[in-house]
Amino acid sequence: MSESDNDLILTEAELSTALQTLPGWELRDGWLRRTYMTPGWPHSILLVNTIAFLAEAAWHHPDLNVGYAQVTVKLQTHRVKGITGKDVELARKIDASVRWKPEPGAVLTGFPKKWVS
């Protein structure tokens, strides 16, 4: 697949299918977006840093809106002003990473209070 193939804007049907695998994500105003709620400011900043790390590693960068206890991620391939496979793939990676918590009974116990939702 060439670089230009990765920049093809997804069809409405392709986006609908992708959204079925991305709980909490939506299409709004030409963006693939999700708002994550956090326990407060320190977690919001940790979340932003996690997303920034993933985006830089992928070399595909979202727009972020940061509040005290929430972070909104907006994905769109800026070059084509539309949602492409790159956006869906990064959304999947972000979601899997930021919502991860150890399984109950695992060696790692996890944050004892409400986590990112």
Question: Which residue intervals of the chain are DSSP H helices?
Answer: 12-19, 41-58, 85-98
**Whole-angstrom distance, CA of residue 111 vs CA of residue 117:** 13
pLDDT of residue 27: 97
Q: Which CATH superfamily is domain 5-98 in?
A: Transcriptional coactivator/pterin dehydratase (3.30.1360.20)
pTM beyond 0.95, yes or no: no
Does 2 score more than 60 pLDDT?
A: no
- Residue 5 binned pLDDT confidence (cut-offs 50, 70, 90): low
Gap between the Cα atoms of 55 and 107, Å rounded? 29
Which pLDDT score is estimated for 4? 61
Specify the higher pLDDT residue, 64 or 111.
Answer: 64
For residues 87 and 74, what is the distance between their CA atoms, to the nearest angstrom?
9
44-70 average pLDDT score: 97
Mean confidence (pLDDT) of the chain: 93
Region 79-96 average pLDDT: 97
- Is it the case that residue 42 has pLDDT exceeding 60? yes
Predicted local distance difference test score (pLDDT) of residue 1:
46
Asked which of 49-53, 82-86, 106-110 is least confident by mean pLDDT, the reply is 106-110
Choose the weakest-confidence range: 1-5, 53-57, 84-88.
1-5
